[in-house]
C-alpha cells in the first residue's frame, strides 16, 4: 500500500524470523545425470527395496534416526498460554534451531490444528516412522500427561515432553548445587512447590527420585493433601506420594520454615512469606518473564536465588537439558527415556559447574558448549547400563 510503513521494521526479533528460521539442504550436490540417478530414481529404488526387505536398514540409509519431531498444539506456549498452532510455530522453529546448534541434530517443527488427545496421539504415531525422537512441546496440562504416556507406550523411540522433564532435569541439577552452597544434602531439605501443572508435577517426581527430604505441592486452591476432593488423577498421585506430614492450608502458610521454594505457577509471593522461610533458604522463582518472587527481594533472605530469566544469574533454562538428552538417547539407540537417564542428565549438568559452584553460579550458562556433550555422554551411558537400547 503506497505510503505505508512496516511496523515490524525496527524490531530485530522480527528480522530474525522473517521467512522462518529453518531450511532443508541436501548433503550432496546434484550436478550431473549420474548424481540425479543415484539421489533419486533409479538408484533410490535399490535402497528402498533393501529397506523393504530389511526394515532395520532404514536406520543406516535414511535420516530418520537422527531427526527429532518438535510437536505442539499451541495450548501452553511460553507464558502466552493458548495461542494456537500458527502462533506457536515460531517457538517450535526456535526449538529446532537449538537442537541443531547444541546437539547437531536435525529436527522438524510440527504444529497440530487439534487439541483432542486421541487425534494428537494418532497423528504422532502416524508420522513416527519419519523420526528418531519425539519432543512434545507446549501442550497444556493435564492432557500433556496422557499424550506423553500413550506415545511412550506405543513407540520404541525416545519421547519426552520437554516442558515437564527438561525443566525437571535442570531444576534438579540446580538444586543439587544450591544444596552444596548451603552445605546440606537433598535429603535434609523441605521443599514447597507452587504449581501442579506439567512442570510442577515433573519436578516433584524427579526430586522424589533424587531423595529429597520432604516435598509438598500447592495448586491454586492450596496444598494438595489427603481429603482434598475433585482432584485429577495426576493430583491424586501427588497426594499419595508427597506431603507426608499432611500439611493443609495455603502455599504461603507452608513456606513458614521451609528450606526451598520452587515456583512454577506465575502469580506473586509476598515478601513476608519469603522472610518466614528457614535461614539460608533457596528460592527458585521460575515464572517467565515475571518471576513469582522478586529476585532482589528474595536475595535479602535467601542464600541462593534462581529464575528463568537470561538477564539474571542462575537461569533455569531447558536448553541445558533437552539437546543433550535427545542426542545421548539417539546415539545409544535408546528405545525410550527413563527416569535413570533423566537423573544422569541432571548430575551431568551439575558436574559441569563442579568446584566452581557458588551462590550465583549453580548451573552453567545456556551457551556453555560443554553441557550438551556431558549430558549426551551421561544419558547414553545410562541407557546402555539400563539395557534400553536396540540390540
Query: C-alpha cell of 379?
Result: 544419558
Q: Is 361 a catalytic residue?
A: no
Out of 21, 95, 180, 301, the active site residue is: 95
Question: Which strands make up the sheet holding 106-111, listed edge to edge?
Answer: 106-111, 67-72, 133-136, 159-161
How far is 302 from 297, CA to CA, in rounded Å? 9
φ and ψ of 210, to 5 deg: -80, -5
3 DSSP assignment: T
Q: Where are the alpha helices (DSSP H) in 57-161?
A: 58-61, 85-103, 117-127, 143-154
Residue 78: Cβ within 10 Å count: 12
Strand, helix or coil for residue 111: strand
Strand, helix or coil for residue 99: helix
63 DSSP assignment: S
| Residue carrying the nine cell digits 522433564 | 165
How far is 73 from 85, CA to CA, in rounded Å? 5
Q: Is 27 a catalytic residue?
A: no
Query: Active-site positions?
Result: 40, 95
Amino acid at each position: 500500500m503506497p505510503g505505508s510503513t512496516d511496523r515490524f521494521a525496527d524490531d530485530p526479533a522480527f528480522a530474525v524470523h522473517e521467512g522462518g528460521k529453518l531450511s532443508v539442504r541436501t548433503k550432496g550436490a546434484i550436478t550431473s545425470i549420474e548424481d540425479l540417478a543415484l539421489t533419486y530414481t533409479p538408484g533410490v529404488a535399490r535402497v528402498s527395496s533393501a529397506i523393504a526387505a530389511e526394515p532395520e536398514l532404514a536406520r543406516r540409509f535414511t535420516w530418520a534416526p537422527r531427526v527429532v519431531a518438535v510437536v505442539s498444539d499451541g495450548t501452553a506456549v511460553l507464558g502466552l498460554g493458548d495461542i494456537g498452532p500458527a502462533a506457536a510455530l515460531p517457538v517450535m522453529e526456535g526449538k529446532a534451531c537449538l537442537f541443531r546448534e547444541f546437539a547437531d541434530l536435525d529436527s522438524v517443527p510440527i504444529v497440530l490444528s487439534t487439541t483432542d488427545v486421541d487425534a494428537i496421539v494418532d497423528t504422532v504415531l502416524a508420522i513416527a516412522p519419519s523420526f528418531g525422537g519425539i519432543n512434545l512441546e507446549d501442550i497444556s496440562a493435564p492432557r500433556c500427561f496422557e499424550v506423553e504416556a500413550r506415545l511412550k507406550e506405543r513407540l520404541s523411540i525416545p519421547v519426552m515432553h520437554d516442558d515437564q522433564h527438561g525443566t525437571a532435569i535442570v531444576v534438579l541439577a540446580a538444586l543439587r548445587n544450591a544444596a552444596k552452597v548451603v552445605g546440606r544434602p537433598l535429603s535434609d531439605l523441605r521443599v514447597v512447590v507452587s504449581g501442579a501443572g506439567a512442570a510442577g508435577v515433573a519436578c516433584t517426581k524427579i526430586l522424589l527420585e533424587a531423595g529429597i527430604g520432604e516435598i509438598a505441592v500447592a495448586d491454586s486452591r492450596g496444598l494438595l493433601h489427603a481429603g482434598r476432593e475433585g482432584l485429577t488423577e495426576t493430583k491424586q498421585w501427588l497426594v499419595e506420594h508427597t506431603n507426608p506430614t499432611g500439611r493443609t492450608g495455603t502455599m504461603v502458610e507452608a513456606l513458614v520454615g521451609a528450606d526451598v521454594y520452587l515456583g512454577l505457577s506465575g502469580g506473586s509471593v509476598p515478601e513476608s512469606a519469603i522472610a518466614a522461610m528457614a535461614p539460608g533458604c533457596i528460592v527458585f522463582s521460575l515464572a517467565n518473564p515475571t518471576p513469582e518472587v522478586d529476585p532482589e527481594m528474595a536475595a535479602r533472605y535467601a542464600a541462593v536465588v534462581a529464575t528463568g530469566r537470561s538477564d539474571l544469574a542462575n537461569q533455569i533454562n531447558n536448553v541445558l537439558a533437552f539437546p543433550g538428552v535427545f542426542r545421548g538417547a539417539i546415539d545409544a539407540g535408546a528405545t525410550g527415556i527413563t527416569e535413570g537417564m533423566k537423573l544422569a542428565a541432571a548430575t551431568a549438568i551439575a558436574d559441569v559447574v563442579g568446584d566452581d559452584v557458588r551462590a550465583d553460579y549453580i548451573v552453567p550458562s545456556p551457551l556453555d558448549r560443554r553441557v550438551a556433550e556431558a549430558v549426551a555422554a551421561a544419558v547414553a551411558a545410562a541407557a546402555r547400563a539400563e539395557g534400553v537400547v536396540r540390540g
